[in-house]
Structure 1
Amino acid sequence: MSLLNNVMEHSLDDGYAEAAARRGATGTSRLPGTLRGRLVLALGLVLAAVVVTVGAAQTQVAAPTLAKERQKLIDRIESETRTADELQKSVDELRDDVAARQRQALNDQDGEAERVALLAGATPVAGPGIELEVNDAKEASSGGGNDPRTTSDFSDTGRVRDRDMQRVVNGLWASGAEAISINGQRLTSLSAIRAAGDAILVDNRPLVPPYTVLAIGDPQKLSTSFLDSADGQYLHVLQENYGIRTRISEKEKLELPAAPSLIIRSATPVPSTGPSSSASGNGKGTH
């Protein structure tokens, strides 16, 4: 009975009672779980709002700096472009001056120096000839069949390629053309027709279709000879089988510009030793 009376009189452990008394004396109590969760959520939202506000403020502060740097880059590009244009203009003027001085120094009354300049592409030229336009097909077709240029690198046979223009130009030279240009770009013995992706480059300058080829020479002979040549037949195959569009016409007068640059890095002239050497050089120049 004494044990039962003790349990009834001391239902709460003495340690728990003492801790509860201390909490009551300091005025603190344990918060319910739901209230603690709400406080943690509110604190997290406050911290997120602070982070977003600070980030927006930093972005707003940095925006003028980025805009200034971008404008500086644009101004620099425009300035360098103007400088390049001025240098190109100066190069053209110096080239014309050098050509005039060369003609004056040679004092060639027979016009040999001018003929050499015409053959080299160093001066504009005019005369009769043909105009050949080569353009992509309206709808490019897939590779295959009897395509004379089929390789693993070319699946779009409806587009004009650099190798096509190479064959056209070589065929015109072989047919008797005296001067050739493509889209206003004068070709010389140093000219190169290459590709950069889908673009065709002539002396590293990109061209866009249609490709207009001007060739000076006897219009009828030049046209007939080219169309009957292997290169003319090659172009005809591309037209018939893959829709590449071509058009050739004879012109009474064509005007071709001078080549933009003629830079010789390795070849040097052979010193003249007498009349026989001069005759040999002339024969080679007109071949």
Structure 2
Amino acid sequence: MSQQPPDRSTPTPPPRPDASMSLLTNVMDHSLDDGYAEAAARRRTEGRSGLPSPLRAKLGLAGALLLAAVVVTLGAAQAQISAPTLAKERQQLIDRIERETSAADALQKNVDTLRDAVGTKQRDVLEKHGGDKADLVALLAGATAVQGPGVKLVVDDAKQTKQSGGGGPRESSGFSDTGRVRDRDMQRIVNGLWQSGAEAVSVNGQRLTALSAIRAAGDAILVDNRPLVPPYTVLAIGDGQQFANAFQRSADGLYLRALQQKYGVRYSISAQGEVRLPAAPSLIVRTAQPHEGGAAGRATDTGKGTS
């Protein structure tokens, strides 16, 4: 009878009692998946500030709008409260300006009246002491209106001239823009006309005499302390076209042309068949006295030239 060899194989362990419940075991071991974990972490982060980010942004915007509304409301209320006071002060300022303007107009009218009276007396004195040369003396002294052939010279600043500060080759008198006509330019122009044969000259309707002065006050050019505005119209009585040609050939005429070419200063000159010049408002002589012989030539210096 044959014997069976002994069985040396490893015995199979018995199955776990909960092997049939593997799904439930997995659920218990992994109660939160990755999505739930991320959501929980985000809630913990937002929980530190108490509110989600979109809600906080909306609340911040609402707070800013509320603050702006409060500021605008307070500003409007303050303006409404101060409006009557500002209106009152404004009206007081307007009334003061109107009063001062009326007073200045009255003073100017009085000055014009006195100037006319002085001019009339001066002309009477010239007629009384000048004899047969009274008209000539009055003409040379600028005490009477004159007319005759001559030239019309119009000078103006360069286009787009600025009024700002700065420095430059033509700015020693304080003018920043080299395209502006200055008082020294007008002095040279007028003196050039006298030298070229002018018998009478006016600038913007103001008659020049031997005592006239051309000066600057800020940006303005003054003739006998009266401000001028560009363009500057210079009328001069002389020998028509010959007079105009003589001025353009003179050193001062060439100076004016150089201003045009280098700095853009605008000018035009033309011969006129007749120009009319008014009388000078008044002549104030402080040191000269009439000669005992009655000649009026010493009463007023009739030499030409403008400073």
After TM superposition, the score normalised by the length of structure 2 is 0.62
- CA deviations 1:127-179 (Å, max 9, x no partner) are 100001111112449976xx6x4648444111111111110001001111010
Structure 1 residues 155 and 170: CA distance shift in structure 2, 3 A: same
Q: Is the 1:143–1:157 Cα contact (8 Å) retained in structure 2?
A: no
Letter in 1 for 2:186: M
* Aligned match of 2:151: 130
What 5-or-longer segments of structure 1 have no aligned partner?
1-48
The 2-side partners of 1:70 and 1:139 are apart by: 35
Q: How does 1:184-199 map to 2 (within 5 A)?
A: 184-199=205-220
Structure 1 residues 67 and 167: CA distance shift in structure 2, 3 A: closer
Percentage identity across aligned positions? 50
**Cα distance, 1:258 vs. partner?**
1.1
* Aligned match of 1:183: 204
Letter in 2 for 1:161: R
Tell me, yes or no, if structure 1 residue 211 matches structure 2 residue 225.
no
> Which among 278, 284, 288 is matched to residue 257 of structure 1?
278
**Cα distance, 1:95 vs. partner?**
3.0
* Aligned match of 1:11: none
* Aligned match of 1:243: 264
* Aligned match of 1:80: 103
SS in structure 1 of the partner of residue 271 of structure 2:
strand
Letter in 2 for 1:76: R
SS in structure 2 of the partner of residue 94 of structure 1:
helix
SS in structure 1 of the partner of residue 279 of structure 2:
coil
SS in structure 2 of the partner of residue 247 of structure 1:
strand
Letter in 1 for 2:103: E
The 1-side partners of 2:120 and 2:129 are apart by: 14
The 2-side partners of 1:74 and 1:96 are apart by: 32
Tell me, yes or no, if structure 1 residue 266 matches structure 2 residue 287.
yes
Tell me, yes or no, if structure 1 residue 167 matches structure 2 residue 188.
yes
Q: CA RMSD in A?
A: 3.6
Q: How does 1:19-34 map to 2 (within 5 A)?
A: none
Tell me, yes or no, if structure 1 residue 91 matches structure 2 residue 114.
yes
- CA deviations 1:41-100 (Å, max 9, x no partner) are xxxxxxxx9xxx99987x577567635643542342133134214313421442354246
- CA deviations 1:152-210 (Å, max 9, x no partner) are 84441111111111100010011110100111111111111111222111111111111
The 2-side partners of 1:201 and 1:285 are apart by: 21
The 2-side partners of 1:67 and 1:127 are apart by: 53
The 2-side partners of 1:249 and 1:139 are apart by: 25
The 2-side partners of 1:62 and 1:143 are apart by: 45
Q: Is the 2:202–2:236 Cα contact (8 Å) retained in structure 1?
A: yes
Tell me, yes or no, if structure 1 residue 233 matches structure 2 residue 233.
no
The 2-side partners of 1:223 and 1:129 are apart by: 8
Letter in 2 for 1:95: V
**Cα distance, 1:240 vs. partner?**
1.3
The 2-side partners of 1:119 and 1:201 are apart by: 22
Structure 1 residues 95 and 138: CA distance shift in structure 2, 3 A: same
